[in-house]
């Protein structure tokens, strides 16, 4: 029986960091300082289910770096969450915030549950108890959580309310990704996908690819994936395949992603969409296309399948979908990868906008937010390309080198305490 190798996402994050640190000749004292997380918390807490039974739930919060500002990063609810995954996600947040130049460090949280098997009231109790367990280490000037996998604006509302009850005052800025009515920002729901599409537009222009008529494949038809598909469709692209956790659909003539979203809402999956051919989540990655958008979980493109990827552009709407060994193969084959810490940084950028709006109690219009987001993404793309070309490396190492240099500069200026 073949034994499947378990890929450790934090080890992959460290590999990319070390390669970037080598490129910029980062001194050892700073390399050692920012290579590992500053702070990690594991909590185990009881939750009462609707049937009266009490279960023990494990949760994590990791702060990777606060050198450039408060920690920032989502909270995911998933049965497979583990500490190394959360460490990797926190590190990616550090580099992501630095790449787009917003004054945050990196953090991340996770709770080991299967949210699909829990009621709304059970999810609320999990969320509130988890928030109370980590309350001492979060705050609008310390560490600001946000939604992630299987969490949403309602989750953030519960977190904000719980923290506010503990604090004795309403603290809107403790989390981002909240509902509009309680301090959320216009444009936040679409921000990750919109930022990804802005970078695709820049990459397509650089490579001479016309988006009108370009073929697009989206693996992961959740919030980011479905919105990215719709935005690409609005630009005239042809969406030929999409997938969710249950499998994928292929329709080479192109499909309307809004119709697919309606079908998924009615049936619970994209499977069975009219006239489409069923394919697996593995097969969808290997379809010939102009643009591939991995928008699911990490480690889906490895050295085993990188040679079968036929996209011209890979835009990582998900965190860590391509492992370092696959990066080298894709680069050698001429596939242009827009790395996650750049491609999906639109979400944290608009989260920053939300945090600023909460702190000033002054809220902006959607048009202005999208304008500011485009400015940030376009400038960040150009900065990463300049470093990539200067050092003659692949785009991921170029993005990491850009980010690591910014964090290292902050550490040099701040010095060592005491």
**Which domains occur in the chain, in start order?**
37-179 (3.40.50.10860), 189-338 (3.40.50.720)
Query: Shortest CA distance to 314 belongs to which of 216, 169, 415?
Result: 216
Q: Flag residues of the chain having pLDDT under 50.
A: 1-3
CA–CA distance, 184 with 351 (Å, rounded to integer): 9
Kindly tell me the sign of the dihedral angle through the C-alpha atoms of 133, 135, 138, 142. negative
pLDDT value of residue 7: 79
Bridge partners, residue 65, by sequence: 106
**pLDDT of amino acid 2:** 43
Rounded Cα distance between 203 and 201, Å, is 6
pLDDT the model gives residue 20: 96
Residue 396, token pair as written in the block: 């991921």
Counting beta carbons within 10 angstroms of the beta carbon of residue 362, is it exposed (0 to 12), middle (13 to 18) or buried (19 or more)?
exposed
Whole-number Å distance between alpha carbons of 35 and 356: 29
Q: Could you tell me which of 106, 101, 150, 109 has the C-alpha nearest to residue 13?
A: 106
pLDDT of residue 3: 45
Q: Are 350 and 188 in contact (CB under 8 A)?
A: yes
pTM here? 0.94
Q: Quick one: DSSP state of residue 4?
A: P
Q: Give the separation between CA 260 and CA 242, rounded to whole angstroms.
A: 9
Element (H, E) at 401: helix 395-414
Average per-residue pLDDT for the chain:
96
Q: What are the structure tokens assigned to 236, written together?
A: 């005239």
The DSSP symbol for 305 reads T
* Residue-level length of the chain: 418
Distance separating the N- and C-terminal Cα atoms of the chain: 55
Q: How far apart are CA 73 and CA 329, in angstroms?
A: 30
Q: Which two tokens stand for residue 192?
A: 């990750």
Dmax (CA) for the chain in angstroms is 66
> Dihedral of the CA atoms 256, 257, 261, 262 (nearest 10)?
-20
Which residue among 96, 108, 238, 264 is the active-site one? 108
Q: Are 264 and 286 in contact (CB under 8 A)?
A: no
Strand residue runs (E) in 135-246: 143-147, 215-219, 238-244
Q: Is residue 108 flagged as an active site residue?
A: yes
DSSP single-letter state for residue 301: B
Q: What distance lies between CA 168 and its chain's CA centroid?
A: 32
Strand pairing class (247-255; 277-279): antiparallel
Q: How far apart are CA 206 and CA 210, in angstroms?
A: 10
pLDDT at 1: 42
Six token digits for residue 346: 């639109």
């Amino acid at each position: 029986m073949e034994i499947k190798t378990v890929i450790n996402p934090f080890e992959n994050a460290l590999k990319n960091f070390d390669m970037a640190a080598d490129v910029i000749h980062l001194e050892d004292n700073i390399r050692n300082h920012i290579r590992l997380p500053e702070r990690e918390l594991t909590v185990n807490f009881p939750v009462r289910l609707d049937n009266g039974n009490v279960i023990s739930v494990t949760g994590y919060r990791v702060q990777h770096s606060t050198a450039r500002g408060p920690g920032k990063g989502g909270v995911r609810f998933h049965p497979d969450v583990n500490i190394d995954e959360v460490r990797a996600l926190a590190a990616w947040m550090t580099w992501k915030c630095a790449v787009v130049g917003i004054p945050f460090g990196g953090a991340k949280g996770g709770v080991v549950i299967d949210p699909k098997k829990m009621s709304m009231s059970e999810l609320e109790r999990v969320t509130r108890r988890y928030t109370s367990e980590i309350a001492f280490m979060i705050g609008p000037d310390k560490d600001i959580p946000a939604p992630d996998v299987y969490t949403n604006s309602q989750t953030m509302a519960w977190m904000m309310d719980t923290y506010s009850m503990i604090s004795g005052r309403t603290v809107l800025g403790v989390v981002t990704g909240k509902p509009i009515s309680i301090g959320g920002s216009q444009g936040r729901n679409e921000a990750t996908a919109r930022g990804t599409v802005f970078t695709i537009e820049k990459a397509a222009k650089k490579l001479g690819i016309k988006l009108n008529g370009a073929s697009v494949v989206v693996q992961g038809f959740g919030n980011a994936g479905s919105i990215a598909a719709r935005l690409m469709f609005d630009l005239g692209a042809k969406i030929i395949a999409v997938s969710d956790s249950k499998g994928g659909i292929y329709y080479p003539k192109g499909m309307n992603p809004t119709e697919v979203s309606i079908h998924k809402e009615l049936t619970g999956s994209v499977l069975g969409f009219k006239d489409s051919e069923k394919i697996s989540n593995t097969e969808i990655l290997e379809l010939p296309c102009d643009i591939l958008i991995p928008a699911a979980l990490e480690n889906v493109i490895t050295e085993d399948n990188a040679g079968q990827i036929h996209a011209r552009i890979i835009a990582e709407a998900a965190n860590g979908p391509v492992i370092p060994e696959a990066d080298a193969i894709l680069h050698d084959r001429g596939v242009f990868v827009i790395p996650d810490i750049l491609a999906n940084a639109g979400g944290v950028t608009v989260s920053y906008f939300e945090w600023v709006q909460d702190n000033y109690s002054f809220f902006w219009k959607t048009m202005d937010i999208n304008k500011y987001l485009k400015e940030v993404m376009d400038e960040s793309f150009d900065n990463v390309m300049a470093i990539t070309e200067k050092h003659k490396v692949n785009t991921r190492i170029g993005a990491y080198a850009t980010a690591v240099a910014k964090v290292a500069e902050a550490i040099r200026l701040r010095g060592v305490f005491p």
